[in-house]
Amino acid sequence: MPLSNGREYLAIPGPSVMPDRVLRAMHRASPNIYEGDLVEMTATLWPDLRRLAGTSEHVVSYIGNGHAGWEASLSNAMNPGDRVLVLSTGWFGEGWAKCARRMGGDVEMIDFGRRSPIDPNRVEETLRADREGRIELVLLPFVDTATSVRNDVAAVRAAMDAAGHPALLMVDAIASLGCEEYRMDDWGVDVTLSASQKGLMTPPGMCFVWFNGRAEARRERVDCRSPYWDWIPRARPEFYADQFKGTAPTHHLFGLREALDMIAEEGLEAVWARHEALARAVWAAVDIWGSGGPMEMNVADPAHRSHVVTALRVGAPHGAELRKWTEERAGLTLGVGLGMGTGDDPKAEGFFR
């Protein structure tokens, strides 16, 4: 007998569940894209997005997902042949590295594995060894969605400063922005990128890039050949359409406005605290569930666990069987193990998120 009833629940690490308020805000006729309510409403988004990222610097938006955010950030900060250091803690760090290589970057990747965070000491050693200053960019995920590892961004910046290295620090906050504490300016981040479909509770289809003055100066030395990815016309638009290089993502914007209103009403710090409390409740449950069986957290140390996605190991084939049972019988869809395959479990059937 199925246990599900009513709306099915998508509990994967994005796209996240969209609140009814966001859905209602998007359920409307297409607006005038040249003047009026849409234009006026869009102008209110940028200050709120800056507050969300903890910055007073620039923010621009693109019609695209998180992978588009990777390309947008690199297009404005990297020339072909530039040396890029990628700090990887899972599938998405590796993905950003592959993106940089495909775009012509000379990529060096430090792989910290799939269960441990970035070690700032190794970062400092690597940068100190770069005596010629060839490394132009340092890339890292704040939270790797595949592994649930959360990295200490401020500690990486401290390592860069200790090494006296001038590279830009660029952070992928796609999985975490709006849910985990994030302070771009205070932590010394030069470029942050995120997307609409996770903590911003809006459908996939928009990504955002925040960049500071150092990154803008870097952009002046980069041959950004694609007019679509160039962030300068978007940051300083002459016309409304310049912000999106054409037609605006109208209904996404209405949904985003409602989502930002919900965050503001609750209070951003209260949102962070709520996610932490719920995460710790899940961790406590896993400790009990795993006391008599194979279930365990992918990240052993709670200090290095994300508050927005929980990655679990249960051994093959139990993860795949559990995901099938919850989806077919309980109306609950769990996330698969991206990049978590091993020699004994190549399809990551012992893993779920």
φ, ψ at 173 (rounded to 5°): -115, 30
List, for residues 204-241, the tens digit of each pLDDT value.
999 999 999 999 999 999 997 789 999 999 999 999 99
Q: Rounded mean pLDDT of 87-94? A: 96
| Residues linked to residue 11 through DSSP beta bridges, in sequence order | 334
φ, ψ at 334 (rounded to 5°): -105, 160
Tokens of 6: 């009513």
**Which is nearest to 310 in space by CA: 349, 337, 272, 344?**
337
In the structure, what pLDDT confidence band is assigned to residue 82 with cuts at 50, 70 and 90? very high
DSSP 3-state assignment of 154? Answer: helix
Tokens of 226: 């694609």
Tokens of 85: 């250091």
Q: Is the pLDDT of residue 5 over 90?
A: no
Q: Is the pLDDT of residue 179 over 80?
A: yes
- Contact (CB, 8 A) for 5 and 331: yes
Q: Is 9 left (phi over 0), alpha (psi -120 to 50) or beta?
A: beta
What is the pLDDT at residue 1? 67
Q: How far apart are CA 56 and CA 109, in angstroms?
A: 30
List, for residues 137-165, the tens digit of each pLDDT value.
999 999 999 999 999 999 999 999 999 99
Q: What percent of the chain has pLDDT over 70?
A: 100
What is the pLDDT at residue 338? 84
Q: Rounded mean pLDDT of 112-118? A: 96
| Residues linked to residue 109 through DSSP beta bridges, in sequence order | 86
What is the pLDDT at residue 239? 95
What is the pLDDT at residue 322? 87
| Residue 237, number of CB atoms within 10 A of its CB | 14
Angle at 254 between CA 248 and CA 258, to 5 degrees: 145
Q: Where are the alpha helices (DSSP H) in the chain?
A: 20-26, 37-53, 66-77, 91-102, 120-129, 153-162, 213-219, 231-235, 250-266, 268-289, 318-330
Q: Is the pLDDT of residue 118 over 80?
A: yes
Q: Rounded mean pLDDT of 130-138? A: 96
**Which is nearest to 114 in space by CA: 316, 330, 335, 313?**
313
Tokens of 190: 């030069």
Q: How far is CA 344 from CA 164, 316, 350, in A?
A: 43, 9, 10
Q: How far is CA 74 from CA 7, 265, 349, in A?
A: 39, 34, 34
In the structure, what pLDDT confidence band is assigned to residue 133 with cuts at 50, 70 and 90? very high
- Contact (CB, 8 A) for 251 and 29: no
Which residue matches tokens 């990529």? 107
Q: Which residue has the higher pLDDT, 302 or 342?
A: 302
- Taking all residues of the chain, what is their mean pLDDT, rounded to a whole number? 95
List, for residues 188-202, the tens digit of each pLDDT value.
999 999 999 999 999
What is the pLDDT at residue 19? 95
Q: Which residue has the higher pLDDT, 196 or 338?
A: 196
Which range among 9-13, 68-72, 88-92, 167-171 shows the weakest confidence by mean pLDDT?
9-13
H helix or E strand, kind and range, residue 342: none
Cis peptide before 15 (omega within 30 of 0): yes
- Contact (CB, 8 A) for 143 and 117: no
Q: Is the pLDDT of residue 291 over 80?
A: yes
- Contact (CB, 8 A) for 243 and 42: yes
In the structure, what pLDDT confidence band is assigned to residue 293 with cuts at 50, 70 and 90? confident
Q: Where are the alpha helices (DSSP H) in 130-206?
A: 153-162
What is the pLDDT at residue 2? 77
Q: What percent of the chain has pLDDT over 90?
A: 84
Q: Rounded mean pLDDT of 104-124? A: 97
